[in-house]
Structure 1
Amino acid sequence: MDIGIIGAGAASAAAAYAIHRDAPDAQCTVLEKSGGVCGRAATRRRDGRWYDYGANYLKDDDERVRSLVTERLETDGLVSIDEPISVFDEDGTVGEGRPTTERKLTYRTGLTQIAKRLFGETDATVNRRTKITGINRDDGRWRLTDSDGEKWGPYDKLLCNPPAPQTARLLREADWEDERRDALVEAAESVEYRTVWTAVLGYEFELEVPYYALVNTDKRHEIGWIAREECKPGHVPDGESVLIVQANEPWSVERYDDDPAENVAKLARLTAEVVGDDRLENPTWTDHQGWRYAQPEDGVDRDAFEVAERAGLYCLGDWVAGEGRLHAALRNGLETGERVGRSIPTED
């Protein structure tokens, strides 16, 4: 049984893990357009520093995902963030957040370790820098074409992990004349996304504040989130700070294509005002990333997906789960992989 997987996000990694566990003879081929894995749970390395510049951590309040990460996968390097999350309002006034018992998890070398460890438990072949641009359904099997014109497949089953707009575009243009395709495209196109522009600010001093992160709860400030990577063991050398600053949706949409240096400088000034430290206006080094499809705003009608799965086509990811969080993507991947595994006939 040959299975094609478009995208190497967290859901794909979890699905490949579940398929390998339940149907070990199935062959999974993963086709990822970027050079990394784990999608928006992304990590970069810079001169001995690690920073998660997309999803910031993994919540441990989903029992299945917590068990997977803390018991079934290799736990070496798994760390928790002990400092709390505080809040700030439209005026930049900082206050204490709600008490919580949830753990915030990551790895010493970043969140991408989740996908790397999941794929490492399988026989899946992960092909990076391979952008799929065409899907064809022929004789009951799936064939793919990448941006270089190379053909992939045929596959008995196909899993699609890109964000909903990209999945909708692929399926809309697919050579698959079927009413199930139209229903699936309509469902995927209905998902709205939040756009986020992120600045990474590095400093040669460590902030002396009691919190790990600040979140804008009234959603009226230009900044939505500020997080300190130095609170993650192993990420930042002692005596330094690395801040992940995510702009809010209106700011991100308006300035998405503006000069990155100007965007970073604006966010650094705003960060200095919120934190109350003028030194933050002048970072030692910076990085940035725009996430046009950062987080889905809501879920989708699952009926269209269930019908498509009868043709061997599975959509997966946080947008299918209806919650733009890493744990939701992982759980959806596990559940999707289990359905795929159950659909594969066992050999007597």
Structure 2
Amino acid sequence: MAHIGIVGAGLAGAGAAYALRDTDHDVTLLEKSRGVGGRAATRRRDDCRYDHGANYVKEGDGRTVDLLHELGDDGLVDAEEPVWTFDRDGAIEPSDREEAHKFTWTAGITQFAKRLLAETDAAVRKTTRAESVARDDAGAWTVTDTDGDEHGPFDALLLTPPAPQTADLLAATDWPGADGALAALHDAVADTEFRTIRTLVFHYDFALDVPWYAVVNTDKEHAVGWLAREECKDGHVPDGEGLLIAQMSPAWSVEHYDDPLESAAEAGADLVADLVGDDRLADPDWVDDQGWRYALPDEGLAADAEALASAREAGLFLAGDWVAGAARAHEALWNGVDAGDRIADRL
């Protein structure tokens, strides 16, 4: 039996653990947060549940839909209202894209990672932030967390945090005999750029009467990048109430990332009210927010093939939507599944 370490219990890490579920390998996930799912996250407040990172899971291809049903149809939700578009001037209109399924759960999108991990015997060590990595002369990997505790030894190690955080880990990696592979891998990961997004959440004692579930800014020149109605998801918002998820543009988010919630929400609510054309939206009855410093990758990993091959041969693997090159929940999942399969093949 081999021991496998996975840094991060987001969808990529959970997908890798799921791929390894039928092996006799021992799997341990190290997760910095108090919960699993990463950016596929859900919060609860005043009888509301809301997905404040990834808003839903796209069907991608048939295997994603099949997996969702295999994990259990109880509580599975498909938001049926369409996604419309708007431009820099805030003109909202129907999209010419073909509508796709938009899956989540009544208990929220964090159910995806929870249900994947429930199918495994993997151990999840929460509130454990990896700080450095080392490989010994025998080929075993250990991870040291910010409290100074060591985890391992592992026969294989998978890193799934966003590229900037993975680059920091690689910079703090001791891998004797890497012969330049570690430096090449680090440089490639560090060059993978991420967009910053601040999510603002607005609750109202009324629901909007509009024909869309969400609107997305297609020319990337509006201060609001995405606006979604959480009440379109069964079980998320009590009847007669409204809850908007506003994901602000990267430019606005960077400028206002550290603003106090009160001032950021006031500015954001004004922008949302102007976009929708409803002055009532400027005055929500409560607000929430989440800053996603590393929200969406701009591109996929462009690592040297030789460096990647050397890392895999040494038992070091990478996974995530940034490795796949697509900022989608299902892409992170399947990239993690593929990494789990590669680890199984190697061991």
8 A Cα contact 2:83 2:99, kept in partner = no
**Secondary structure in structure 2 of the residue aligned to 1:295:** strand
Match of 2:122 in 1: 124
- Describe the superposition over 1:264-298 as per-residue Cα deviations: whole angstroms up to 9, x where unpaired: 11110000011111111110111001111000000
Distance 2:34 2:218 in 1: 34
Aligned-residue offset at 1:47:
2.3
Report the count of equivalent residues. Answer: 341
Match of 1:51 in 2: 50
**Secondary structure in structure 2 of the residue aligned to 1:293:** strand
**Secondary structure in structure 1 of the residue aligned to 2:314:** coil
Match of 1:339 in 2: 342
- Describe the superposition over 1:89-109 as per-residue Cα deviations: whole angstroms up to 9, x where unpaired: 111111111242421110111
Code of the residue aligned with 1:41 in structure 2: it is A
Equivalent of 2:321 in 308, 318, 322: 318
Match of 1:183 in 2: 184
**Range moving further from structure 2, 295-304 or 330-339:** 295-304
Distance verdict in 2 for CA 1:92–1:44, change over 3 Å: same
8 A Cα contact 1:65 1:330, kept in partner = no
8 A Cα contact 2:12 2:332, kept in partner = yes
Code of the residue aligned with 2:211 in structure 1: it is P
Match of 2:111 in 1: 113
Distance 1:310 1:188 in 2: 18
Code of the residue aligned with 1:83 in structure 2: it is E
Aligned-residue offset at 1:116:
0.2
Distance 1:229 1:264 in 2: 17
8 A Cα contact 2:84 2:216, kept in partner = yes
Code of the residue aligned with 2:324 in structure 1: it is A
8 A Cα contact 1:4 1:158, kept in partner = yes
Please show how residues 53-68 of structure 1 align to structure 2 within 5 Å. 53-68=52-67
Are positions 1:103 and 2:101 aligned together? yes
Equivalent of 2:92 in 74, 91, 94: 94
Aligned-residue offset at 1:62:
2.2
Equivalent of 1:79 in 77, 82, 93: 77
- Describe the superposition over 1:169-211 as per-residue Cα deviations: whole angstroms up to 9, x where unpaired: 1111112231221111011011011110110000111111110
Aligned-residue offset at 1:61:
2.4
Distance verdict in 2 for CA 1:99–1:143, change over 3 Å: closer
8 A Cα contact 2:58 2:330, kept in partner = yes
Identity between Structure 1 and Structure 2 (%): 51
Match of 1:204 in 2: 205
Q: Which runs of 5+ in 2 are unaligned?
A: none
Match of 2:32 in 1: 33
- Describe the superposition over 1:232-285 as per-residue Cα deviations: whole angstroms up to 9, x where unpaired: 011000000110001111111111112221111111000001111111111011
- Describe the superposition over 1:23-54 as per-residue Cα deviations: whole angstroms up to 9, x where unpaired: 1x101111100111111111001122110000
Query: What's the TM-score once normalised by structure 1's chain length?
Result: 0.96
- How much is the aligned-residue C-alpha RMSD, in angstroms? 1.1
8 A Cα contact 2:323 2:335, kept in partner = yes
Match of 1:163 in 2: 162
8 A Cα contact 1:64 1:331, kept in partner = no
8 A Cα contact 1:229 1:235, kept in partner = yes
Distance 2:73 2:314 in 1: 37
**Secondary structure in structure 2 of the residue aligned to 1:330:** helix
